[in-house]
Structure 1
């Protein structure tokens, strides 16, 4: 058992601790050893619910002969992409120089100084479909390292230079936030990519994987798009309906699978990710017509399957499980409820990723308030308290993840700060407890502590920084909102809650920085465009002050599609105002009755106590 991996805070690394490969975790120790031996570094990146990562592990990393080749000529580093997203992004950018078929497992060869010089993805144990065997790749790289070092150094230098140039290529672009008409045009361009036959985005004749792309769907659901480009907004509703009624959704336990391999959403890749389901819960909440069964299914999956004993949500549920003594991909999900009762369910990666929990906290809090499900709000609160306890280092900074309440050494990313801040602010709205909003404000402030350009406190990954290797700066979304988009969203929400106008300015700055790229490529920037849509129109705030959160006036208010609906007790309203959230200042009950304060287009109407006086 490899002691360097056996006690890692990543289930993915722990799963490789028994390999005959002498793996190192990500860190300077591995590169120092490579310099001492003067050998290249193999950086193998994956995650615990990745099917092809499992396959390559069984075929190559568990094979003694392959391990002997690897240990003789290389220092091998195993990286959990979910624990080290910055490392993954940097090496993924480098890998694009060698293959267009990017994904995981990611296999990168680098110099002892950390400069990549060759990369690929899955390599089989024997040559297959034009792909060389992994041992052939190892032999070829080893030979090149010993006999053609100058060529390797030239390639490594060229890639490092290209990455550095990409990080500074933004230049002096115009900086302004998009107007409503521009966002509606971007939404129409996005809608033009709809699969007209099966819904979602893509070509109905293509054989490529088909993803939900929840960030893009959320942009299409904004008020700006619904009011000014209704035909584009309808694409989101059709996509949700198609996915919810297809094999992509687990009809037994709720929740959506990662992606489909067919255009009609069939033959899913069966892992169920926290990121996808947290965001699709938001999509289902805002769907027209409403899909309550989908909402309840996702909420049930998050709470019943992914929530860990300590309160945080695990990263994902595996696609594979044991059935009749053999590993089966998807076999568990192919059975009905009665059949599953006798099967061991696929394993859950219990790693509590900070930012991803923020996404789940936000969506569950919103869903609980909208559906009148206090248990969902309490699940969100439990997760928030767990993250703020276990995923915070001794110096108060966020860490990327924890496992069994033991914190990872990997620092929190900008996305972690933005996503958790957004989740805490949403939880504050759902519970009426200002302390969560105060903590959200502190997290956002920490990212701007060094000046105008935001950065995670303490900077990024220290090994990458030392090596001068990094990914191109980007606000584009992968399977989650990017760091800039998440931080902009949290800042905008704090502004909606009445925090200082500087928070709107921060959101505007982040949106303006990336607006040209976002308007040109809306499919890749849905999260940022959603924030832009929030800033493009005057907001509507609805605050209800009542000693009874279950009052009829509160229930009616929660059903109104305002930009912000908050229900607070008189004491909570005072606490919000005292904490610097001006939206709640001077708001109290009138004549002893629950009272609603409706502000639209920066103009506040007279308070009302009659539910009939509240109109959409």
Structure 2
């Protein structure tokens, strides 16, 4: 990134940290908008559209190598109208042009480089381009020359390609045609079990039995796919484990070994026992948390692993990864009782509180992969650095043993990415070697961790993208809210409340619709479908955690504008972008989970739950209409559509409604919420009715009244309700847990 001795370009006026990173490039950058489009049309120039985000390592590399090069910048300025887009600020533009890049054969990714006609039709695309021919990639100057030559001298070919891409985009925008739901004649619970088992078996074909996860390298967490495996692993079977968390088959294995007894299972096998699906999920969760994907000093997960063994990460940290992985580790803790999983969730949440929480109360977007111009420089260690930080050769030797730091290293220039190099079962032997016992050894290791973290914080930290994005905050609100009762930490619920109050108070417009982002001020970008769906989900989770009926009201208030803005009843699809965003070429529709769950599935999921709470038949009808269109495709591609798989399982099995009646702050109700949160109950819809609350738009509260002024609980399934329960044992028996 250039210094401020240069004159800034137009991006200096933009709020996005990513755009501001490019504000001193010699490139004549425009932000996305009419000014750039009108210039391209007036001068008949192609548009060079560059899309990236602040934490993107290869975006930084291309900036240093190409956009900071005066000769390349001059070539860009001479031939093109150059437009920079932050994909986090405008996910709709990224979605459209990523799809176009795939149609054009480039594969997609970031940085994304797309060349457009002045009417915004793409005709050539790529990702990272080096400054000269390298590693089989053409140099960027050569690409610029070729594109400009084609645009000027083979215009008919350019237009033909561009029109064909747009035709394919528009043809695919509506998603798959409607199909019958795959529910058979089996009873609801059995139909749900069969559905989730079939999906999990297909997902399991991509499972890596040696290291966990799916496929080889690079490896991404695939949070929703892991959630399907967890659910399949505890689905009720005759004589098998139930959803209570007491599986009856003992520990999942020592977390320190990152194994779960799946080494004899090869990819493609169909497990005879659904428990094997649970083993796969637990094995993967262990491996991710023990490897370099997890930050063993500060907590939190990096974006993905570049290797099969989860050892070497791509070092950026994204809020949405923390938000999606915490609930998985909470579920693993619920199912096994193993404090390892609770510890990972707790460390991750504290990382978010320490490093990704804005003063306003929301959560920021990303931490960069790079610092001091090098990827991972902030995170890696050498033995000399351990000795310098700890000031004691014995402590440094113990740290090196525990975290796998060697003279040779496992990363660049002899440095080491920290990982858990000692298995839990080897701790007693390590303690004896160091002349102590296990408890004292663990205290020493925790002291070492804190001192190394303090030393690391004296390094130049990675850059931060401190935008507050509504959808990502909704996911993080849900994670904190779910963790509060499970881990018995009221501060987590307080963090969720503070973020929810900030979002609702700052990023909701007077007519009730959301804005997408905040950075020092609300940004003039309308909310997208995931913003509504994830925030509603967060509010429902927050109500279940603290019992405040306000969060139910706010969730219901957001559902109506979500439907009005994004649902197309005739087509049976949710659009991802509002019409007012002015997304070019096509309104995007996304059915597949990417780094985030598909907005369509998330919207249908929260509407299905709100239908139970409110009795609103339109909510129920829309959720079912989405599934009629998407469930058959999800059955064919369950890893890519895992969030739809989970929704269909809920719909087939039906929801378990638990209504607690009484003062939400009453200790007995707080205790019941805490105990309920300790069980794995994916179909649970938990609400709290204050004694004086009416039932308007609260169908779940009708007929569920206080009894003699005492707190009571009602359990309802499939339109049948229990008698009011006045103690925990009665509630537990009605749920069939514990």
1:78 counterpart residue number: 84
Matches within 5 A, 1:8-23: 8-23=14-29
The question of 1:343 aligning with 2:343 is answered no
1:90 counterpart residue number: 96
1:260 counterpart residue number: 305
Matches within 5 A, 1:52-131: 52-131=58-137
2:257 counterpart residue number: none
2:680 counterpart residue number: 561
Contact 2:9 2:25 in 1 (8 A): no
1:27 counterpart residue number: 33
**CA separation in 2, counterparts of 1:60 and 1:457?**
33
Contact 2:203 2:639 in 1 (8 A): yes
Contact 2:476 2:538 in 1 (8 A): yes
1:330 aligned residue (373, 376, 398): 376
Matches within 5 A, 1:534-613: 534-547=650-663, 548-551=665-668, 552-562=671-681, 563-564=683-684, 566=686, 568=688, 572=690, 574-575=692-693, 577-613=694-730
1:354 aligned residue (466, 470, 479): 470
2:161 aligned residue (148, 155, 158): 155
**CA separation in 2, counterparts of 1:358 and 1:334?**
32
Contact 1:220 1:226 in 2 (8 A): no
The question of 1:289 aligning with 2:336 is answered yes
Matches within 5 A, 1:296-315: 296-315=346-365
> Residue deviations 1:521-556, cap 9 Å, x none?
111011111111111103222233344543344443
> Residue deviations 1:454-506, cap 9 Å, x none?
656983464434xx3455x3310001111111101111221343442432322
1:506 counterpart residue number: 622
The question of 1:146 aligning with 2:193 is answered no
2:236 counterpart residue number: 227
**CA separation in 2, counterparts of 1:19 and 1:395?**
40
**CA separation in 2, counterparts of 1:497 and 1:431?**
17
Structure 1 gaps of 5+ residues are none
1:274 counterpart residue number: 319
Instruction: Give the TM-score taking structure 1 as reference length.
Output: 0.92
2:225 counterpart residue number: 216
Higher deviation after alignment, 116-125 or 174-183: 174-183
**CA separation in 2, counterparts of 1:486 and 1:98?**
29
> Residue deviations 1:221-260, cap 9 Å, x none?
3379633533323322221111111111111111111000
The question of 1:413 aligning with 2:532 is answered no
Does the C-alpha gap of structure 1 residues 455 and 392 become closer, same or farther in structure 2, counting only changes over 3 Å?
farther
Contact 1:96 1:102 in 2 (8 A): yes
The question of 1:427 aligning with 2:542 is answered yes
Higher deviation after alignment, 129-138 or 580-589: 580-589
Does the C-alpha gap of structure 1 residues 12 and 607 become closer, same or farther in structure 2, counting only changes over 3 Å?
same
1:41 aligned residue (43, 47, 51): 47
Does the C-alpha gap of structure 1 residues 454 and 407 become closer, same or farther in structure 2, counting only changes over 3 Å?
farther
**CA separation in 2, counterparts of 1:234 and 1:592?**
46
**CA separation in 2, counterparts of 1:84 and 1:187?**
33
> Residue deviations 1:386-420, cap 9 Å, x none?
1123323454321221112x222222111211111
Higher deviation after alignment, 273-282 or 552-561: 552-561
**CA separation in 1, counterparts of 2:594 and 2:56?**
16
> Residue deviations 1:423-442, cap 9 Å, x none?
11221222222222222222
Does the C-alpha gap of structure 1 residues 54 and 403 become closer, same or farther in structure 2, counting only changes over 3 Å?
same
Higher deviation after alignment, 215-224 or 456-465: 456-465
Contact 1:553 1:594 in 2 (8 A): no
- Tell me the CA shift for residue 585 of structure 1: 3.3
**CA separation in 2, counterparts of 1:242 and 1:224?**
18
2:607 counterpart residue number: 491
Contact 2:545 2:673 in 1 (8 A): no
Does the C-alpha gap of structure 1 residues 172 and 588 become closer, same or farther in structure 2, counting only changes over 3 Å?
closer
Higher deviation after alignment, 94-103 or 584-593: 584-593
**CA separation in 2, counterparts of 1:422 and 1:553?**
21
Does the C-alpha gap of structure 1 residues 329 and 565 become closer, same or farther in structure 2, counting only changes over 3 Å?
same
**CA separation in 2, counterparts of 1:168 and 1:588?**
45
**CA separation in 2, counterparts of 1:440 and 1:295?**
26
Contact 2:715 2:722 in 1 (8 A): yes
Contact 1:184 1:225 in 2 (8 A): no
Contact 2:574 2:600 in 1 (8 A): no
State the secondary structure of the residue aligned to 1:227.
Answer: coil
Does the C-alpha gap of structure 1 residues 462 and 371 become closer, same or farther in structure 2, counting only changes over 3 Å?
closer
State the secondary structure of the residue aligned to 2:583.
Answer: helix
- Tell me the CA shift for residue 24 of structure 1: 0.9
User: Across the two proteins, how many residue pairs are aligned to each other?
Assistant: 601
State the secondary structure of the residue aligned to 1:280.
Answer: helix
2:171 aligned residue (165, 182, 188): 165
Instruction: Give the TM-score taking structure 2 as reference length.
Output: 0.77
The question of 1:187 aligning with 2:307 is answered no
1:196 aligned residue (209, 214, 239): 209
**CA separation in 1, counterparts of 2:517 and 2:561?**
18
Contact 2:53 2:87 in 1 (8 A): yes
Structure number with bigger Rg: 2
Higher deviation after alignment, 302-311 or 264-273: 302-311
Structure 2 gaps of 5+ residues are 1-6, 185-190, 238-273, 382-451
> Residue deviations 1:61-103, cap 9 Å, x none?
1111111111111000101111111111111111113335421
Contact 1:365 1:376 in 2 (8 A): yes
> Residue deviations 1:190-220, cap 9 Å, x none?
12211000011114xxxx3100011111223
Does the C-alpha gap of structure 1 residues 101 and 168 become closer, same or farther in structure 2, counting only changes over 3 Å?
closer
